[in-house]
Every structure is written in structure tokens, then in C-alpha cells.
Amino acid sequence: MLLMAVAAGSRPARAASTRVVSAPASASTKIPSLSQYKLDMSTNNLPGLIELSPAEYTALGREPEFAGEKVFHAPPADFLGFEWDIRLGVIGRNVYKIVALLECNDLSGEDKAFSVAYDYYVHQLGEPSERREPLITWDAVDGNAILQRQAAAGAYYVLLFLTSKSVLHASIASSKTPSPRISEVPAPTKENLEVSIKVQEQRLEKHPDDFETLGSLGGLYGMLGRYDKALYYFRRAVTVNPSSSSAYLGMAAAYGHLNRGPEKIEACKQAIKLDPSNFEAYLNLGSAYVRSGQHEQAAQALQEAVKLKPDNAEAHFSLGLAYVGLCRKDLALRESEILSKLEPRLEGQLRHFLNGLCRDVVPP
């Protein structure tokens, strides 16, 4: 089992790219969200969280170090064009640490992902506060971000650690020092997931209408790629708690992986009906409409998404795709300009679609 720490003998980090030139973070700059995950957010509306098993806590070499501390496996996040495995450190019901792990196919893939992440955080937070191999650190008003690359057992990884300053207050209140070793949370192997599923299903036998257990099973089966089973449990969760927008979003995700676009759209609509401020529901609805070629409806949904999160690059990218589908070249270019400031890599991808479909707009 791989532990995500700086292991003895691991390859030192090379000097990071400095192509992006930016001023240091201002006193008001905050750590940006990592896809759907944000420091200090509540876990109440996060489906599919699975707490580490006792064996996994043992593998960390520690028990929770202050009152209310837990570590969870969470559903993967699409971030900067890559899919990251996610662990969350939680105190009470608030996320104080986000750990994102990206496994790369080879050294070239690792270099690319590391460079994209480095450029993103320089753009968002300015030049790093500290470089101490193999770690690069950015400080912000609400916490810090650490970027690391690592090679172990012939595999290549890029890791991100986002930590909230709120943990300092929690540790003071509990008269303990917060552990730095959440970075050692093990990757959710197939074996780990199957063990967790067995535990949750045993719990469900005793409490067949437990909403959290049903949602957890939906998330676990989704992480295994068993989307039919994920859908089954999310449907049961909706039956138990029909007012849960997060359960409908779980259904929507499963429908999407099963290529059942119309049903994904309906599940997203229901999530929005229950929670009109649900950014993820609008984003998923818009993306589903784009995939189905319903670009007018996609634009409407994604316009709502960018109203809720104006700095979310993924929402602007998807909205740009909707405008390309409508051949609204002026509006697509506007989204391209926004992306040039938020996420240049996505701006380049959107320009590619513009070049392919609207050749008279973009200079050769």
C-alpha cells in the first residue's frame, strides 16, 4: 500500500517552471477551490465520503490527534484537465485539509501535470512563499497550498495539499498539535474500496434506510467504476430522503457514466429544484446538454453556474463550448478571454474548438 509521504530515497523535485510571472499573493488572497472541494466547507452536502478504516488509520502511524478529526476518501475531482484522487481532513463537519493525488503514466506526464499545477498556483497566489525540495509552498490569508512530485515503486505522482488556518485554532482549543501526516493517506485501492463496501453493506443490513450509508455505497461503487450499483444506491438514498440535492447529483453522475444523458439531465434539474444555488448541479446540467447537442439549454444552465462561481474555469470553458455549438463566436471569444486569465490551458483548448468550427473568427 502506497503512503503519500516523502519516502526515503524518493526522487527530489526539480526546479519548477517559472513561465508565469506574478506578484506575491496579496493579504486578501485566499486558497482557490479544487473543483468541488474548498477549505472550510461543510461536509453536509458532500456525498460519497468514506472514513478511513481502522487498518488505514494504523497505516498512517497515528490516531486522530484532536477532537473531531477524521480523514475521508472522497469522490475524484476534475481539476486542471486531470482526474485527481481526493482525501479530506475534517474537524467536526468542516474540511480543514484537501489532499489531491494524481498518478501519471510516465515521467513526461508527471512533468506536464506538475507544470500545469505550478503555473495555476502562481497565477492564483503569486510566486511561492518557500521552496524546500521536494515541496513548493504558497501562503495565503486563509491557509497554504503545497505542491509536490514524487516517484515510488516505478510510478509517478503529483500531489497537492491545501490546509486551512482554521486547523490552528482547532489544535489550540484541543491543546494538541495538528499532525502534518495527512499527506500519508493511502490511495483507495480496489481492495480498500471492496473492504469499505463490505463494511457499509453490513451496516446497511442493520439500518436499511440509513441515508448516509446509502450515499456512501453509491460513492464507493462509483469509485470502483460500478456505476450500475452506484445508481442503485443513490436511487435508494433519494427514496429515503427525496429532499437531498446531493443524492440527485450522485444519480446524475452515475447516469452520465452509463451514457444515459436524458436521465442525467432530469436528475440535475431535480437537484436544482431542491437547491437553486447548487453550482455543481448547474455545471453538470450544462455539460450534459453540451454532450447531447442541446446548446441553447446548455448556455442557459452554464450562465447560472458562472453567476454562482464567476472564477470557476471549468464553467467558463463549458459555456464557451455551448457558444461554439450555437456558433455565437463573439460570446465564445468572450469566454476565451476570461479563461486566458483564469486557466490558460483551457483557453487554448477552447480556441482549438473555435479554430475548428468558426475559422473566420480566430486568426490563423
Q: Give this prediction's pTM.
A: 0.53
CA distance 299 to 292: 13
Residue 338 has pLDDT above 50, yes or no: yes
Query: Which CATH number is associated with domain 191-357?
Result: 1.25.40.10
More confident residue, 20 or 43: 43
For residues 226-236, give the mean pLDDT: 93
- Per-residue pLDDT, 82: 87
Q: Which three cell numbers stand for residue 262?
A: 436524458
Residue 63: per-residue pLDDT: 53
Secondary structure class of 260 (helix, strand, coil): coil
Q: What pLDDT is stored for residue 316 in this prediction? A: 92
* Residue 253: closest CA among 276, 221, 275, 277: 221
Give the closest residue to 30 by CA, choosing from 124, 116, 131, 94. 124
Report the distance separating Cα 273 and Cα 205, nearest Å.
Answer: 32
Give the model confidence (pLDDT) of 47-98 as tens digits: 888 887 766 666 555 555 555 688 888 888 888 888 898 999 888 888 889 9
CATH 3.40.1440 fits 50-187, yes or no: no
Summarize pLDDT for 144-173 with one digit per residue, the tens: 899 988 765 567 889 999 988 875 444 434
Q: What local confidence, expressed as pLDDT, does residue 104 receive?
A: 85
Tens of pLDDT, residues 176-225: 444 444 444 444 567 767 877 887 888 889 889 888 788 888 888 888 88
State pLDDT tens for residues 88-136: 988 888 888 999 999 888 878 888 888 899 989 988 888 888 876 568 8
For 252-334, strand residue ranges (E) read none
Is the CB of residue 12 less than 8 Å from the CB of residue 133? yes
Distance CA 281, CA 22 (A): 33
* For residues 299-323, average pLDDT: 92
Q: Domain ranges in the chain?
A: 50-187, 191-357
Q: At 251, is the pLDDT very low, low, confident or very high (cuts 50, 70, 90)?
A: very high
Percent of the chain with pLDDT over 70: 77
Q: What is the pLDDT of residue 346?
A: 82
Burial of residue 181 (number of CB atoms within 10 Å: 0-12, 13-18, 19+): middle
Question: What percentage of the chain reaches a pLDDT higher than 90?
Answer: 26
pLDDT at residue number 239: 94
Average pLDDT for 26-43: 82
